[in-house]
Amino acid sequence: MSKELAKTYDPKGLEDRLYQKWLDKGYFHAKVNPDKKPFTIVMPPPNVTGQLHMGHALDNTMQDILIRFRRMQGYEALWQPGTDHAAIATEVKVTNMLKDQDIDKQEIGREEFLKHAWKWKEEYGSRIINQLYKLGASADWERERFTMDEGCSRAVEEVFVRLYEKGWIYKGSRIINWCPKCQTSLSDAEVEHEDQDGFFWHINYPIVGEEGKYVEIATTRPETLLGDTAVAVNPEDERYQGLIGKMLKLPLTDREIPVIADEYVDKEFGTGCVKITPAHDPNDFEVGRRHNLEEINILNDDATINEKGGKYSGMDRYVARKAMVADLEEQGLLVKVVPHTHAVGTHDRCHTTVEPMIKPQWFVRMKEMAQASIEILKTEDLNFVPERFDKIYLHWLENIKDWCISRQLWWGHRIPAWYCQECGEILVKKGGAPEKCPKCGCTSLRQDEDTLDTWFSSALWPFSTLGWPDQTPELDYFYPTSVLVTGYDIIFFWVIRMVFSGLEQTGRSPFKHVLIHGLVRDSQGRKMSKSLGNGIDPLEVIDQYGADALRLTLMTGNAPGNDMRFYWERVEASRNFANKVWNASRFIMMNLDAAEVPEDVNPESLTLADKWILHKVNTLAAEVTENMEKFELGIAVQKVYDFIWEEFCDWYIEMVKPRLYSETEDTKAAALWTLKTVLNHALKMLHPFMPFITEEIFCTLNPDEESIMIAPWPQYCSDWEFSQAAADVELMKEAVRGIRTVRSELNVPPSKKASVYVVSGNCEICRTFEHGRVFFATLAKASEVFIQADKSGIGDDAVSAMIPGANIYIPFAELVDLDKELERLTKEKERLAKEIARSNGMLGNERFISKAPAEKVQEEKNKLDKYTQMMKQVELRLEQLRK
């Protein structure tokens, strides 16, 4: 072998060099290939505003593992990448950038603003993609897409027009979520509910014509009473039967409102009387529609009180609240204020408290598509891993409302709807503006100012990225995709929308499996966030330890659907494992260079140890393949890790050393062949998890091979089914472990060798130890190994270890200098006696017991127990030695 591994493993230069090699060779690129089965993953498109965080690192590592695994298995594996235009986040970024340049968004207008937005996207939009390179992501970058590129935009228009013509997209005035800061509508999925400390303000509404009589209501938002159009009671509430139909004087206004009866009211909650504000509460909106109540919007878009608010007009909602409460108190209408913690809706992007508000918006009718998405889960065409996430998916679909898809933004897919300025006709059309109104012939047409919810375009991602609505060869071959990998926090944001969009537009589920992972939390179990300052930058981890160490850390102990904690100690352990693999590989290669290694070996030349490790790696291949196919990635990598570290490095390499160092050993060639063969298999199984180090070692070990990426995945081989050999070696390993335990208990130095006697009346066991004598002697630190049927010739002082069917004996005198050991144990007994006396003295002191903290007293009791146990062991050992 002309090329050598560097003396020490340094991922820094190595990882960038290898990634560039993979790019140059085009290994990530997938083509339509009728001779191969396709395997497709569509990358959840990161926002163009995004920067790689630990959640991205986990999500993309899992996708990369699956793609590399299937690529090695011989599938035409496509990992379709791309980015999302992230309407709100990008608009905020660009607006702030312009502000810093003293440019006002409104002054320059829409077209000029979009020029700046596209320029910003070109400059910063690929940042996160470049960061994914660092992680080793083997996505097909030649196919990279963007949710606002020409093809995706055409797909968006196509779907909008199709659904509109079907009557499933409509424009209407309904209650929506409004963000006063971003000044746009939001879907329910973009609203986070967080518990906030607030109050219940109890307010008296005077009954018209009944001086001194009132209806008491309780509200958490007193400012909204300006938009009240009724007070509702439950029709079965006997307390208020005589009140239904009467009019109330609405405080702080000159309006009167009716008392109505509606089953929506919970008569057990609060006062049993509920103010109804149809324009500012989704439940009240439904009540209002049932009773034909007026809908009065009292807020401007920035959450200040509008012109309908009288003296409070122009005030911020919270300033108005304070002023109104003061006025109610002054008029004697404020009954009481009760502290109350309740869930408040906030915008998941800017965390501003959302205002429910009636506005004319575009909606997608969800009833039929939701039902289809429920039905598909009953088939084998859609499966959640783990299965428990079915419930979240179904719960969301069963309670879904029509989807508000219009956003009051400039960056995004503009709604393909035009309004006739003459007759008001709405024209929905793809491919640009219509020439004239088909109804009245007018050519003065104005396009809707709104853009579509970002999720509308990303809902089409699995098929729009493959060329839909055209029936492309890629769409025929790679769609439906094989698996979607995503976090449990995005099931309803994105997964459900992709499912109903895929079913409606293509007639098929967009993916067969949805692999759900948890969140990466800090070492204390907290969610990583900017506010807590506990976020960990994956790029810093990569810079310090390498991408392989980060990837292995993220997958160690990982179970589908479960959160994981990030510990720096784990990263160091992963780095140590990489060093172990590197050093073991260097050792093997140095020995391969110094000898002739056959292409293949006669099974007859294989020793017990060779057959054992081949059996082990063969079994490992079968098990790991099954784990990978079941998406048990954490279990798979742990098995590979344990095999390499323990079985291969700690046992087999040590077993074969005597054969490698002996010039007369006739099984040396078999040992070298086995070392190389098993290392190659282990590297291949480790490759999806740690792609860089495995590539470097594999290509150095096999100079004629292009890349481990395109090497075949190890398959179970019946020729390597050496069950008996495996059982025999496991028996000898048990004997070695027993001897090591004895030596450890006697504090025998590792360098000290002693005779080992294997005593068994079982001929097969004796034959096993004969066959493994060469490595058993090395591993057991034996100066000589005697294998016999009885105890003859073994002194009474011999220490022993027992294994099934045999006893192992070692002459005590060969292990320990009796006089020195007696002296050491006598000194230890004296030391322990002093410690026990000291502890007894403290615990017998009443002042200590009464004044010392309870944990200090308990600590002293624990010490006494420990010293007492140690004393018993020392005395027992002294007694044995003196005999």
pLDDT in tens, 557-581: 888 888 889 889 999 999 999 999 9
Spatial distance between the Cα atoms of 588 and 606, rounded to a whole number of angstroms? 18
Spatial distance between the Cα atoms of 62 and 515, rounded to a whole number of angstroms? 9
Q: Going by DSSP bridges, is the β-strand pair 247-249/256-261 parallel, antiparallel, or unpaired?
A: antiparallel
Residue 58 sits in the same domain as residue 204 = no
User: Percentage of the chain with pLDDT > 70?
Assistant: 99
Quick one: pLDDT at residue 489?
80
Quick one: pLDDT at residue 599?
81
Spatial distance between the Cα atoms of 835 and 91, rounded to a whole number of angstroms? 71
> Who wins on pLDDT, 686 or 799?
686
Q: What's the whole-number mean pLDDT along residues 190-212?
A: 89
Indicate the number of domains in the chain: 6
Q: Tokens 């991205």 belong to which residue? A: 56
Mean pLDDT of the chain: 92
Q: Is the pLDDT reported for residue 605 higher than 80? A: yes
Spatial distance between the Cα atoms of 811 and 757, rounded to a whole number of angstroms? 9
pTM of the model: 0.85
Cβ–Cβ < 8 Å for 530, 675: no
How confident is residue 629, by pLDDT bands cut at 50, 70 and 90? very high
Spatial distance between the Cα atoms of 803 and 815, rounded to a whole number of angstroms? 20
Q: Pick from 657, 678, 652, 679: which is nearest to 668 by CA?
A: 657
Q: ω into residue 46 within 30 of 0, thus cis? A: no
Which CATH number covers residue 659? 1.10.730.10
Q: What's the whole-number mean pLDDT along residues 188-207?
A: 87
Q: Is the pLDDT reported for residue 688 higher than 80? A: yes
Residue 658 sits in the same domain as residue 511 = no
What DSSP element (H or E) covers 785?
strand 782-788
State the SS3 of 274-343: EEECCCCCHHHHHHHHHCCCCCCCCECCCCEECHHHHHHCCCEHHHHHHHHHHHHHHCCCEEEEEEEEEE
Residue 609 sits in the same domain as residue 683 = yes
Q: Is 326 domain-assigned?
A: yes
Residue 325 sits in the same domain as residue 444 = no
Residues contacting 12, CB < 8 A, separation 6+:
543, 546
Residues in the chain: 883
Quick one: pLDDT at residue 793?
82
Q: Is 183 domain-assigned?
A: no
Segments forming the whole domain that contains residue 654: 547-721
Quick one: pLDDT at residue 873?
79
Quick one: pLDDT at residue 875?
87
Residue 530 annotated in ligand binding: yes
Q: Is the pLDDT reported for residue 66 higher than 70? A: yes
Radius of gyration of the chain (CA): 37
Q: Is the pLDDT reported for residue 435 higher than 70? A: yes
Q: What's the whole-number mean pLDDT along residues 472-495?
A: 91
Q: Is 164 domain-assigned?
A: no
Which CATH number covers residue 46? 3.40.50.620
Residue 710 sits in the same domain as residue 731 = no
Residue 23 sits in the same domain as residue 134 = yes
Spatial distance between the Cα atoms of 254 and 249, rounded to a whole number of angstroms? 8
Q: Is 496 domain-assigned?
A: yes
Q: Pick from 628, 157, 215, 148: which is nearest to 410 by CA?
A: 148
Of 816, 833, 858, the residue at which a domain comes to its end is 816
Residue 468 sits in the same domain as residue 601 = no
Q: Is the pLDDT reported for residue 493 higher than 80? A: no
Tokens for 568? 């720096």
Q: Is the pLDDT reported for residue 185 higher than 90? A: no
Residues contacting 272, CB < 8 A, separation 6+:
233, 234, 237, 239, 240, 265, 266
Residue 763 sits in the same domain as residue 673 = no
Of 485, 512, 545, the residue at which a domain comes to its end is 545
> Who wins on pLDDT, 471 or 856?
471
Q: What's the whole-number mean pLDDT along residues 296-315?
A: 93
Which CATH number covers residue 296? 3.90.740.10
Q: Is the pLDDT reported for residue 348 higher than 80? A: no
How confident is residue 288, by pLDDT bands cut at 50, 70 and 90? very high
DSSP 651: I
Residue 616 sits in the same domain as residue 710 = yes
Q: Is the pLDDT reported for residue 18 higher than 60? A: yes
Q: What's the whole-number mean pLDDT along residues 818-842?
A: 87
Beta bridge mates, 364 = 169, 403
Q: Is the pLDDT reported for residue 799 higher than 90? A: no
Q: Pick from 687, 681, 585, 689: which is nearest to 635 by CA?
A: 689
User: Percentage of the chain with pLDDT > 90?
Assistant: 68
Of 721, 737, 756, the residue at which a domain comes to its end is 721
How confident is residue 1, by pLDDT bands cut at 50, 70 and 90? very low
Q: Pick from 699, 656, 688, 869: which is nearest to 137 by CA?
A: 688
* CA dihedral sign, ordered 351, 352, 354, 360: negative
Q: What is the DSSP string of 93-113?
A: HHHHHHHHTT--HHHHHHHHH
Cβ–Cβ < 8 Å for 828, 839: no
Q: What's the whole-number mean pLDDT along residues 55-68?
A: 96
Residue 62 sits in the same domain as residue 210 = no
Residue 655 sits in the same domain as residue 576 = yes
Q: What is the DSSP string of 474-528?
A: HHHHH-SEEEEEEEGGGIIIIIHHHHHHHHHHHSS-SEEEEEEE--EE-TTSPBP
Beta bridge mates, 417 = 428
Q: At what angle do helices 538-545 and 54-72 cross, to 10 degrees?
A: 60
pLDDT in tens, 848-877: 888 888 888 899 999 899 899 888 878 887
> Who wins on pLDDT, 176 or 665?
176
Q: Pick from 577, 551, 556, 582: which is nearest to 679 by CA?
A: 582
Q: Is the pLDDT reported for residue 55 higher than 80? A: yes
pLDDT in tens, 705-718: 999 999 999 999 99
How confident is residue 664, by pLDDT bands cut at 50, 70 and 90? low
Tokens for 610? 């060779």
Q: What's the whole-number mean pLDDT along residues 473-483?
A: 98
DSSP 763: H
Q: Is 309 domain-assigned?
A: yes
Q: Is 786 domain-assigned?
A: yes
Q: What's the whole-number mean pLDDT along residues 250-279?
A: 92
Q: Is 870 domain-assigned?
A: yes
Residue 300 sits in the same domain as residue 229 = yes
Which CATH number covers residue 823? 1.10.287
pLDDT in tens, 386-415: 999 999 999 999 989 899 999 999 999 999
Q: Pick from 192, 187, 154: which is nearest to 494 by CA?
A: 187
Cβ–Cβ < 8 Å for 454, 482: no
Which CATH number covers residue 751? 3.30.2320
Residue type, 874: V
Residue 120: count of CB within 10 angstroms of its CB: 18
Residues contacting 159, CB < 8 A, separation 6+:
456, 460, 501, 505
Q: Is 358 domain-assigned?
A: no
Q: Is the pLDDT reported for residue 2 higher than 60? A: no
Q: Going by DSSP bridges, is the β-strand pair 754-759/782-788 parallel, antiparallel, or unpaired?
A: parallel
